[in-house]
Structure 1
Amino acid sequence: MLRQEASIAQNIKLKRTRDAVEAAISGAIDRLMSFSKVPDNGLVLFCGENFDTEEYKCYVFSPPEKVTVYFYRTDKYFHTEFLEDMTEENEVYGLIIVERDQATIGILRGSRILVLEEFEGFVPGKHMMGGQSQRRIDRIVEEMYHNFLKEVGEKVNQHFLPLLEEGKLKGILLGGPGYAKKDFFDGDYIDYRLKKLVLEPLVDLGDQGEAGLREMVMRMKDVLKSQKYVEVQSLMDELKYHLAKDDGLIVYGLDYIKKALEMGAVDSLIVYDEENPELQKVIQEAEKYGAKVYVVGDELPEAEWIKKTFGGAVGKLRFKVD
Structure 2
Amino acid sequence: MQLTILDRVDRVADGVLSLVLRGAGPLAPWEPGAHVDLALPNWLTRQYSLYGDPADRERYRIAVRHEPLSRGGSEYVHLFLRRGRTLEVSSPRNNFPLLAAREYLFLAGGIGITPILPMLRAATRAGATARLVYAGRSAATMPFTDDLRSSYGDRVSILAEDEQGRPDLAALAAGLSPRALVYCCGPAPMLAAAEAAFPAERLHIERFRPTARTFPPNTAFEVVCARSGQTVHVSPEESMLTALTHAGHPVPSGCREGVCGSCELTVLDGEPEHRDDIGAPANRMYACVSRARSPRLVVNL
Question: When you count strand as a share of all residues, which structure comes out higher?
Answer: 2
Q: Same fold (TM over 0.5)?
A: no
- TM bucket (normalised to shorter chain) is 0.3 to 0.5
